[in-house]
Amino acid sequence: MAIRWLTLVPLLFIFVGVAFANHATPIVLGMPFLFFYMVLCIVVTSVCMAIVYKFDPTNKEGK
């Protein structure tokens, strides 16, 4: 169950990181930096959820 703490990572990215990412430049991948950062947050969320899903013993039950 300890693996579930990994979900704190995307939350910190979104709620704390935003304070440091609130810039229009540099433009990354054709996006203003703030929007690029949001994309990064989403990808981090997805990756963390995939890792949690994989290692959470709850998802092994009754397969």
Partner 1 sequence: MHTAPIVIIFGTIVIALILAVLSHRRKKMSLEQWSVGGRGFGVLFVFLLLAGEIYTTFTFLGGSGWAYGTGGPTAYILAYGAVAYLLSYFLLPPVWRYAKEHNLISQPDFFNKKFDSKWLGILVAVVGVVAIVPYLQSQMTGLGLIVETASYGAIHQSVAIGIAMIVLAFYVTLSGIHGTAWTAVLKDITILTVVIIIGIALPMHVGGFHAMFTKINAEKPGFLTLGAKGMGVPWFISTVALTGLGFYMWPHAFGAVYTAKHERVFRKNAIFLPLYQLILLFVFFAGFAAILITPGLKNTNLALLVAVQKVFPGWFVGIIGGAGVLTAIVPGSLMLMAAGTLIAENIYRPIVGNASPKQVQVVARVMVWVVAAVTFLFSIHSNAAIVALLLMGYNFVSQFFPTLLLSIFARRAVSKPGAFAGILVGVAMVVYFTMTKQSLVFGLNSGFWALLVNFIVVLVVSAATRDVSRNQVTSAAQS
Closest distance to partner 1 from the beta carbon of 51 (Å): 9
The residue with tokens 């013993």 is: 57
Q: What residues pair up with 31 in beta bridges, in sequence order? A: 28
Site for partner 1 in 26-55 (CB under 8 A): 27, 30-32, 34-35, 38-39, 41-43, 45-46, 49-50, 52-53
Q: Are the beta carbons of 41 and 10 closer than 8 angstroms?
A: yes
Element (H, E) at 61: none
CB contact at 8 A, 17 and 45? no
12 makes contact with partner 1 (CB under 8 A): no
| Binding footprint of partner 1 on the chain (CB under 8 A) | 4, 7, 10-11, 14-15, 18-19, 22-25, 27, 30-32, 34-35, 38-39, 41-43, 45-46, 49-50, 52-53, 56, 58-59
